[in-house]
Amino acid sequence: MAKVIAIANQKGGVGKTTTAVNLGTGLAEEGKKVLLIDADPQGSLTISLGNQHPDKLENTLVDIIARVVNEEDIEERYAVIKFKDGVDLIPSNIELSAVEISLVNTMSRELVLKSYIDSVRDEYDYIIIDCMPSLGIMTVNALACADTVLIPVQAAYLPVKGLQQLIKTIYTVKRRLNPNLEIEGILLTMVDNRTNYAKDIVLEVNDVYGKTIPVFPIEIPLSVRAAEISSMAKSIYDYDPKGKAAFAYMSLTKEVLAHGC
């Protein structure tokens, strides 16, 4: 039975997709079977994993959602793209934004993704959902089927207000839709330890949230190499295996494994 981890933060550009790629491939390096789900109409995860033209893909998460809503059968590996051994992808493209609107009139609209994920849980060890930068219905769908949420926070501005809103949404989903939902942890990303400002933010996040929400002890450093992989169809372990970002993401992977299922 897979553990389902949603990677969410409604703030854009905080490292959600980069974390999905490198946590997902990291878990596969550790021998786990991983499904990555792109739940963002920008299709960044889909592009990162080598599909340069998401709009030309025949089947995506959009088609899966349509089939769930219409109560149609979904055959095995429908819409799944194999990225590499142990890592599958369900891609997305811009059409997903229309689905968001169409779900408004669907019964149990928050549980559409859960219905699909429950049907594939047995085939994987980890299912990682890369959320879009909003707290709309797709993100609520991801939270409603996840076991845990991993929250990347960019150490470049004081994130306190936005984080409060996200945490409130997580607890609302937990109360109303998914009582088992837990927070995997806050992950500080793009940390530039040369600046006092970054260090202050790391301290502040630990100070304000550390008592109630786990904050990963490992931070992801600011790294040009990490930024470059978004167009390379490679994980950080293949692209720059000896670099500090690869080390940090492997440490994160081991931490997530240690948290168990």
Q: Which is nearer to ligand ATP, 18 or 51 (CB)?
A: 18
Q: Considering only 27-35, 37-45, 177-185, 206-214, which stretch makes contact with Mg ion by CB under 5 A? A: 37-45
Nearest to 111 by CA among 75, 148, 142: 142
Q: What is the smallest separation between the CB atom of 184 and ligand ATP, expressed in angstroms?
A: 16
220 binds ligand ATP (CB under 6 A): yes
Separation of alpha carbons 127 and 146, rounded Å: 9
Q: Could you say which of 39, 138, 173, 245 contacts ligand ATP (CB under 6 A)?
A: 245
CB 18 within 8 A of CB 234: no
Which residues, including other chains, have CB under 8 Å from residue 116's CB and lie 6 or more apart? Answer: 64, 65, 68, 74
Provide the minimum distance between the beta carbon of 242 and Mg ion in the complex, in angstroms, as a whole number.
26
Stretch that binds ligand ATP, among 14-22, 83-91, 194-202, 208-216 (CB under 6 A): 14-22
The radius of gyration of the chain's CA atoms, rounded to the nearest angstrom, is 17
Q: Choose the stretch contacting Mg ion; rule: CB under 5 A; options: 24-32, 36-44, 105-113, 229-237.
A: 36-44
Distance CA 23, CA 19 (A): 6
Three-state secondary-structure class, residue 242: coil
Residue 256, by phi and psi: left (phi above 0), alpha (psi -120 to 50) or beta? alpha
**What is the helix (H) or strand (E) element at residue 205, kind and residue range?**
helix 196-209
Q: Which residue do the tokens 């948290």 mark?
A: 259
114 scored as a contact of ligand ATP (CB under 6 A)? no
| Given 50, 133, 136, 214, the residue binding ligand ATP (CB under 6 A) | 133
Contact pattern for ligand ATP over residues 16 through 55, marking x by CB under 6 A: xxx---------------------x-x-x-----------
Q: Which of residues 60-89 bind ligand ATP (CB under 6 A)?
A: none
What strands, in cross-sheet order, belong to the sheet with 126-131? 81-84, 87-90, 34-39, 126-131, 3-7, 148-154, 182-189
Assess 162 for contact with ligand ATP (CB under 6 A): no
Choose which of 2, 14, 15, 17 interacts with Mg ion (CB under 5 A).
17
> How many residues bind Mg ion, per CB under 5 A?
3
Which residues bind to ligand ATP, rule: CB under 6 A? 12-18, 40, 42, 44, 133, 189-190, 220, 222-223, 226-227, 230, 245
Which residues bind to Mg ion, rule: CB under 5 A? 16-17, 44
